[in-house]
Amino acid sequence: MYSSKISGVGHYVPERVVTNDDLSKIIDTNDAWITERTGIKERRFADLEAGETPSVMGTKAAELALKRANISKHDIDFIIFATLSPDYYFPGPGVMVQDQLGIGEIGALDVRNQCSGFVYGLSVADQFIKTGMYKNILLIGAELHSGGLDMTSRGRGVSVIFGDGAGAVVISRAENGEEGILSTHMHSEGKYAKELALLSPNTSHWVPEIMQKNDPEDLSYYPYMNGNFVFKHAVVRFSEVIEEALQTNNCSVSDIDLLIPHQANLRISQFIQKKMGMRDDQVFNNIMKYGNTTAASIPIAMSEAWEEGRLQPGKLICLAAFGSGFTWASALLRWH
């Protein structure tokens, strides 16, 4: 059986910066309120008129990851695309990346696990590489939240949190079994599905029904989040799944060189850091600049960490995520 490693990382974020002060002009909020509750100072919003769709942003992130992996796009055997905001209801954006990159008729798989989608996708890619089915897999996480948020004071509790962007990694066969992806761990608890969800349109409450009802109280087409409930579960599941990865590999918290958590809320990351007794230099956060980019948050953070020289050979890297579903997941990597 083979082992797998991340051979290249890349990201793309839109040029348009939206600060907390910008939001305060259209929503009853302010910089202090947002910063205190989320740690976010600004986020990026895509330019729809310029064609910045999730697949387009994902393709741009992928091109950078391919360049850094020093391989050709034609070396890619398979595409995995994680998102909750696809270009279309169907088909998924994976096939669109295949077309936009101009590569052969390889398979494309879409992952719908929201905030933990990237780590779930990483686990899938890891298994494909380990079994020898594929040699190089392109994994993308991309989101376009800005077009589907309730940008009024009514929706401020959710809308101030999210931003747009994409991150990508190339996962390749590793020569050394002691480097690369050591293990991945995935969990779910569907009884809490509606605590963080976008419930319609859906197959039983489709667009015609929504339009016919014309009910101003029906806000099911905007994201809903039970914030305090999600926070309480997130801090428990984050620490559990990180510990699971460490125990599986006979490691301790002090062995982690860098924890890259899903960028959901800076308060969550800080809570986990304090709970696990980690130093500031052991945890990577960039939510201040980008907000919560859901499936894109971990690969964007990985790309920035790589640019800052924090992903060095031999370093032990832990990825962890929690989000809608509820789903949560972790991965432990020995950087190559």
Distance CA 15, CA 131 (A): 40
Q: Is 292 a catalytic residue?
A: yes
More reliable by pLDDT, 97 or 223: 97
> Letter for the amino acid at 312?
Q
More reliable by pLDDT, 210 or 190: 190
Report residue 203's pLDDT band, with 50, 70 and 90 as the boundaries.
Answer: confident
Q: Are 42 and 106 in contact (CB under 8 A)?
A: no
- Kindly name the residue from 11, 113, 115, 145 that is annotated as catalytic: 115
Q: Is 115 a catalytic residue?
A: yes
pLDDT tens string 91-136: 999 999 999 999 999 999 999 999 999 999 999 999 999 999 999 9
Phi, psi of 223 (to 5 degrees): -60, 140
Report residue 250's pLDDT band, with 50, 70 and 90 as the boundaries.
Answer: very high
pLDDT at 62: 98
Report residue 72's pLDDT band, with 50, 70 and 90 as the boundaries.
Answer: very high
Q: Are 158 and 324 in contact (CB under 8 A)?
A: no
The end-to-end CA distance of the chain, in Å, is 18
Phi, psi of 125 (to 5 degrees): -60, -40
Distance CA 277, CA 35 (A): 24
- Kindly name the residue from 145, 292, 318, 336 that is annotated as catalytic: 292
Q: Which residues contact 33 (CB under 8 A, 6 or more apart)?
A: none
Phi, psi of 66 (to 5 degrees): -65, -40
- Kindly name the residue from 262, 265, 318, 336 that is annotated as catalytic: 262
Residues in the chain: 336
Token reading at 13: 């974020």
Across all residues in the chain, what is the average pLDDT? 95
Q: Is 185 a catalytic residue?
A: no
pLDDT tens string 278-293: 999 999 999 999 999 9
pLDDT at 161: 97
Which fold does the domain 180-334 belong to in CATH?
Peroxisomal Thiolase; Chain A, domain 1 (3.40.47)
Q: 159-194: string of b/e by CB count within 10 Å (b at 16+)?
A: bbbbbbbbbbbbbbbbeeeebbbbbbbbbeeeebee
Secondary structure of 119-163 in the HEC alphabet?
Answer: HHHHHHHHHHHHCCCCCEEEEEEEECCHHHCCCCHHHHHHHCCEC
Q: 287-312: string of b/e by CB count within 10 Å (b at 16+)?
A: bebbbbbbbbbbbbbbbbbbeeebbe
Sheet with 180-188: strands ordered across: 180-188, 327-334, 316-323, 258-261
Does residue 202 register a pLDDT over 90?
no
CB count within 10 Å of CB 283 equals 18
pLDDT at 204: 81
Token reading at 60: 């741009």
CA-based nearest residue to 33, from 45, 44, 21, 50: 21
- For the chain, residues classed under CATH 3.40.47.10 are 3-174, 180-334
Which fold does the domain 3-174 belong to in CATH?
Peroxisomal Thiolase; Chain A, domain 1 (3.40.47)
**Which residues on adjacent β-strands are paired with residue 316?**
334
